Amino acid sequence: MRSRILVIDGQGGKLGRSLIEAIRARCQSAEITAVGTNGLATSAMAKAKPDHIATGENAVMVCCRTAELIVGPIGIVIADSLLGEITPAMAVAVGQSPGEKLLLPVGGRCSKLVVGAEDLPVSALVEKAAEIVLEKLN
């Protein structure tokens, strides 16, 4: 059975696209679902060829129920983050999901600082996240 990974992103979807590409390069057998908080983010992530793709609040809520691993910026668990794109219902769905969460501390996208988080470029965070996904799947 393939591992079910959910990638959630908003705004322009560049982070989500990069995550999908990096995860797919390391874990070809993983089943990757991408959910964008808006159409632009969804379109960007679609270019990385996830197995499934959807847009919006309800898609986040539904996909969180069965995801084994949820990957995205830390803002996906903070209501009103990503310039207001993360609704309270989305944040609750991610937080209450039985799946493990792999959250990237991209402070500029959610106006939050995480004490102890390394100040790394997004590309380095993506690579680190993909390596952790690989570890979790093995």
Instruction: Provide the token pair at 15.
Output: 């982070």
Enumerate residues 6+ apart whose C-beta is below 8 A from 33: 4, 5, 6, 7, 50, 51, 52, 53, 54, 63, 67
**Apex 129 CA angle, 67 and 55, nearest 5:** 45
Tens digits of residue pLDDT in 7-16: 999 999 999 9
Lowest pLDDT segment from 10-19, 79-88, 100-109: 100-109
Task: Determine the pLDDT at residue 124.
Answer: 92
Enumerate residues 6+ apart whose C-beta is below 8 A from 1: none
Task: Determine the pLDDT at residue 116.
Answer: 74
Tens digits of residue pLDDT in 103-116: 998 865 455 667 77
Q: For the residues 79-101, what does the mean pLDDT come to?
A: 96
SS3 12: coil
Tell me the sheet residues that pair with 4.
Answer: 31
pLDDT at 26 over 60: yes
Task: Determine the pLDDT at residue 1.
Answer: 59
- Cβ(54)–Cβ(33) below 8 Å: yes
Q: What is the pTM of this model?
A: 0.93
